[in-house]
């Protein structure tokens, strides 16, 4: 097959555009000085140590993990039954309901965040942490429904019918036949939704308040007041964290399985 130099150059430029900033951030995290510089003037890991020495980063990391885990739990409890109903049942308004469930992905995040602030925090006067949890549950729900729905689309429902014909109840069949067969899809959905929540900025920016903040928002606040490589070090750690999650997702359920829908 004949190589196309123009296509190769274009591919290189695209990769450079996508990966270049990440490489620059990674290199600046090793700057030994107190000011962010590129290229770095030396090599030091002190800013990585500083990440764990700054209490606000540790506290907001714990908040981000807590909100993501709790929101994930609520999204699973809502999303798995919804995905099952959308794949198994035939009813009027099914497409409209599916569009409503997926709307948090389609609506601009700024608009969604402002709407949640207006109606959840201001109108309903819900406490900040609870409102933040609601917001993150809303943005995780479409990912749970889409990925679990993809697994259910590949599931042979004749197995369910066979179990029920042998005397198993509908709930027993659901928990003992269907869920074990889509376990990898559920785990992949949980991991993707967790990443979406943990790294979210738009919703968290509107839903955080005094005493309650997430790690991405705290990073923005830190950059406004300091110009040292600490945020670069956090960014590298988060990139590694995300890469591990994506590797697990790919191993559990190939990304092509749910990008098709």
- Give the pLDDT of residue 121: 83
Condensed to tens digits (0 to 9), the pLDDT of residues 51-88 reads 888 888 888 889 999 999 999 999 999 999 988 888 88
Stated length of the chain: 261
212: β partners:
209
The Cα 164–Cα 43 span in angstroms is 64
- Give the pLDDT of residue 258: 44
The Cα 189–Cα 168 span in angstroms is 27
- Give the pLDDT of residue 104: 84
- Give the pLDDT of residue 253: 58
Averages of pLDDT over runs of 10 residues in the chain (261 residues) are: 71 82 85 80 85 86 91 92 84 80 83 86 85 91 89 82 81 85 86 88 83 85 83 87 78 53 43
CB-based contact 70:59 (threshold 8 Å) = no
pTM of the complete model beyond 0.85: no
- Give the pLDDT of residue 144: 92
C-alpha dist (Å) from residue 182 to 37, 51, 88? 48, 38, 14
Percentage of the chain exceeding pLDDT 70: 94
Which residue in the block uniquely carries the two structure tokens 């800013």?
47
200: β partners:
none
- Give the pLDDT of residue 109: 82
Tokens of residue 140, six digits: 């995780």
- Give the pLDDT of residue 261: 43
């Amino acid at each position: 097959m004949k190589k196309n130099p123009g296509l190769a150059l274009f591919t290189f430029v695209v990769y450079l555009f996508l990966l270049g900033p990440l490489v620059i951030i990674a290199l600046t995290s090793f700057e030994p000085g107190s000011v962010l510089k590129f290229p770095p003037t030396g090599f030091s890991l002190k800013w990585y140590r500083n990440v764990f020495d700054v209490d606000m980063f540790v506290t907001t990391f714990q908040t981000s993990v807590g909100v993501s885990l709790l929101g994930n739990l609520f999204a699973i409890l809502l999303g798995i039954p919804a995905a099952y109903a959308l794949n198994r049942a035939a009813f009027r308004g099914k497409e409209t309901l599916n569009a409503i469930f997926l709307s948090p992905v389609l609506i601009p995040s700024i608009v969604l965040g402002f709407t949640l602030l207006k109606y959840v925090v201001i109108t309903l006067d819900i406490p900040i942490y609870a409102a933040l949890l609601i917001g993150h549950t809303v943005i995780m729900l479409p990912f749970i429904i889409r990925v679990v729905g993809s697994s259910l689309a590949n599931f042979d429902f004749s197995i369910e019918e066979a179990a029920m014909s042998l005397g198993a109840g509908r709930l027993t069949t659901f928990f003992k036949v269907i869920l074990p067969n889509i376990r990898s899809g559920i785990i992949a959905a949980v991991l993707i939704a967790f990443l979406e929540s943990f790294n979210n900025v738009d919703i968290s920016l509107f839903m955080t308040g005094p005493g309650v903040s997430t790690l991405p928002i705290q990073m923005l606040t830190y950059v406004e007041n300091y110009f040292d490589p600490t945020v670069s070090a956090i960014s590298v750690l988060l990139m590694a964290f995300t890469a591990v999650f994506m590797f697990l997702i790919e191993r559990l359920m190939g990304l092509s399985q749910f990008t098709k829908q």
